[in-house]
Chain A
Amino acid sequence: MHTHRLAPWAAYTVVGVGALIMLAPFWFMFVFATHSRTDIFSLPPPLVFGHDFAANLGILTSHLPFWRNLGISLYVALASTAFTLLFCSMGGYAFAMFEFRFKDALFALVMGTMLVPSFMNMIPTFMIMDALGWIDQPRALFIPGAANAFGIFLMRQFVGSSIPPELVEAARMDGCGELGIYWRIVLPLLRPALGTLGLITFIASWNNFIGPLIVMRSPEMYTLPLALRALQSPVDTEWGALMTGSAIATIPLLLLFLASSRQLISGLTTGAVK
C-alpha cells in the first residue's frame, strides 16, 4: 500500500470550492435583499448589491409587523436560553453529584425522551398548550423545552468530568447551603458548558419554525421564521422583501457566532476528552 498526499494547492482548491458552494446562498440572500422582485428574476441574476434595500424594507413592514416579530423572536430566544441554562444545569448537577432513589430510572426516562420523534409531539404539544390557555403566548415556546434531555445530559457529563465531589463537600463544611453550593460554586465552574448550551439553545430557538407554527396563531405573535414564511404565497411572493427579512434575521446569529465560535467548538469537546 502506498499513501496519496495531496499537494497543498490541490487541498486549498478543494476547500476553496467547497467554501464557495457553502457561501453562495448567503451571498445571494444579501444581494437579493437589495434588488426588486423583477431584478431578481432577470437573466443573468444580479451578482452584486443593488439600490432597492429601502424599498424592500418598506414592502416588508407594510405586509408584516416585522419589527414586532423580530422582538418576539429575540424575547423567546433569550428567555429560552435563560430557562434552559437554569434548569438543565440544576438537573445535570443533581444527576451527576447526588444519590437518590430511582436516580438511574429517572435518568433513563430523561434520555428516553430523545428517542421520541419530534413529529409525535406536535399534536400533544398543541393540546397541552391549548388546555393551559397558552396558545398565542411566547411562554408556550420557552417553558416546555426548558429542561430538555440534551441539555441535562451535557451538563451531567460536564459536572462529572470537571467538578470534583470534594469541592462540594468543602463548601458543605464551610457552611454553604445546598442551593448556595449550586449558585456560588457549581454554576461559576460550569461557565464553559453554559456558554455552549446557551449558544445551541439560542440558535435553535431563533431558527425554530415548527414550534411557533403549532402554538402561535395571530401574525402579531409570529416569530421571524413564521412571519417570513407568511410572506410567501403560491402566486404572489415579494421575493426581494423576503430576502431582506431573511438577511436581517441572519445578522444576530452571525454576530453571535463571530463572537463565540471558539467557545462553541471548544465547549462541545470539553468534558468529552478530559
Chain B
Amino acid sequence: MGQVSLRGIRKSYGTVDVIKGVDLEVQDGEFMVFVGPSGCGKSTTLRMIAGLESITAGELWIDGDRANQMRPSDRGTAMVFQSYALYPHMTVAENMGFALRMAGVAKPERARQVGRAAEILRITELLARFPRELSGGQRQRVAIGRAIVRKPRVFLFDEPLSNLDASLRVDMRIELTRLHAELGATMIYVTHDQVEAMTMGDRIALFHQGRIAQLGAPLELYNRPATEFVASFLGAPRINLIDRPGAAAPAAHQALWQRLASAAGGSVQRLGVRPEHLQVLPSGEGVPATIVLAEHLGDCSILHVRVDGIGSLLNVKVASTGARGSSGEAIGLAVEGGAVLAFDAQQGRVA
C-alpha cells in the first residue's frame, strides 16, 4: 500500500540530461526525503512520480503497477505544492473536496470526508472561508488537507514549508512528522533545507547533478558520507576540508595534517573534520591558529579560524561555556579522536 520504485529513471529536455539514471525503492509507510542544492533534480524526480513530467527513460512502479503512462489522478498520489496552489475561487471545504467531486462522490459523503480531514488538521472552523482570508500556515494546512482527503497511497511534498516564516516552519515540521505517524502513509518530501531532511526523514536521498549521491538514514549520511559533496552538504556550519600539504607547506598545515591523518593511507588527498570535532586549546598547545571572526550564538559559538597554509578559514563549533574567543586571538587546535573523514583524489571517502 504505497511502495514506489524507480528503476533507471531519466529525464532529458532535448539534448540536456536533467536526471541521469535514478534507482530508488521507497518502502511502504516510509518518510523519504529528497534533498540537494537547487537544480540537482530532486523536484523533477518528484514531479515524474506525480505524473506532471513525462519520464524519458526508465520505469516507475507504484504498488506493483507500472505507472509511466498513468494519468496523474490514477497514480494514487497526492501532491502538496510549495505555493499551496489552492483554488482561489473556492472555499476551503470546496478546495479539499474537489478531487472527490471530480471522482463523482456524493455531496454528504464528501462533506463527511472533508470534515474528518479538517479535524485531523484542526482547521474545522476554516472550512467556509476562502484561501485569501487565511494566513500562510493555514493555507499550508488546507493544502495538506486537500491531499489527505484523497486518501493517497503516496504523499508528495514539494518544498512545502519554504514559504513559511522560521518559527511556523518548525511547528509545521513537527506537525508533518506527527501526521506521518498518524496516517502511516508513504511520504516523499523534497527540500533544500538540511535541517528538515535530517529531522523528518526515515531515509534521505541526497541528489547531486541528476543522480542520487547517497541514500541512507540521516545520521548515516552525516557520519559516513560517501563523497566529499555529501559531507559538505550536510552539517552547518560546513565540514572543514584540509588538503594534503606539499613538502613546502607551512609547519602549522603539516602539523594539523599529522594530527588528523593518523589513520589515513597513502591514497588520501583530503581530510574532512566537522566543526564540532575541533577543540580549542590555549595558545602554545596543539596546532597554532588565529581567530578571524567569532560568532556567539548563546548556546554555542562558531569560530572562524585561520591556520597558516590553509586557504579557507576553518569552522570550529564550541559549547558556549568555552566561548571566550574574540577576533585576532591566538589559540591552539586539537582534534577529537576518530572523527576524521578521509577522501581520495576522486572525492570518494576512503576512511
Contacts and interface: CB of A to CB of B under 8 A. Distances in A.
Q: Do A and B come from one complex?
A: yes
B150 interface: yes
A176 B85 CA distance: 15
A65 B47 CA distance: 63
B102 A173 contact: no
B216 interface: no
B52 A174 contact: no
B114 interface: no
A173 B150 CA distance: 10
A160 B88 CA distance: 16
A164 interface: yes
A167 B85 contact: yes
A202 B163 CA distance: 42
Contacts of A188: 89
Contacts of A172: 52, 72-73
B85 A175 contact: no
A171 B71 CA distance: 12
Contacts of B85: 164, 166-167, 169-170
Interface string B71-95: 0110001110111010111000000
A170 B103 contact: no
A171 B79 CA distance: 11
Main secondary structure on chain A at its contact with chain B?
helix
B242 interface: no
B99 interface: yes
A174 B73 contact: yes
Interface in A147-198: 164, 166-167, 169-176, 180, 185, 188-189
Interface residues of A, number: 15
A131 B146 CA distance: 54
Given A166-B81, A180-B102, A173 B72 contact: yes
A172 B72 CA distance: 7
B102 A174 contact: yes
Given A189-B88, A189-B89, A174 B150 contact: yes
B233 interface: no
B98 interface: yes
Contacts of A170: 79, 81, 85, 87, 146
B87 A167 contact: yes
B50 interface: yes
A174 B149 CA distance: 10
Contact of B103 (A167, A171, A175, A189): A175
B139 to A, nearest CB: 13
A174 B50 CA distance: 11
Contacts of B81: 166, 169-170
A176 B102 contact: yes
Nearest to A177: B102
11 contacts: A166-B82, A166-B85, A169-B52, A170-B79, A170-B81, A170-B87, A173-B50, A174-B150, A175-B99, A175-B103, A185-B87
Interface of A: 164, 166-167, 169-176, 180, 185, 188-189
Given A167-B85, A169-B85, A172-B73, 13 more contacts: A164-B83, A164-B85, A166-B82, A166-B83, A170-B81, A173-B52, A173-B73, A173-B78, A174-B73, A174-B98, A175-B99, A180-B102, A185-B87
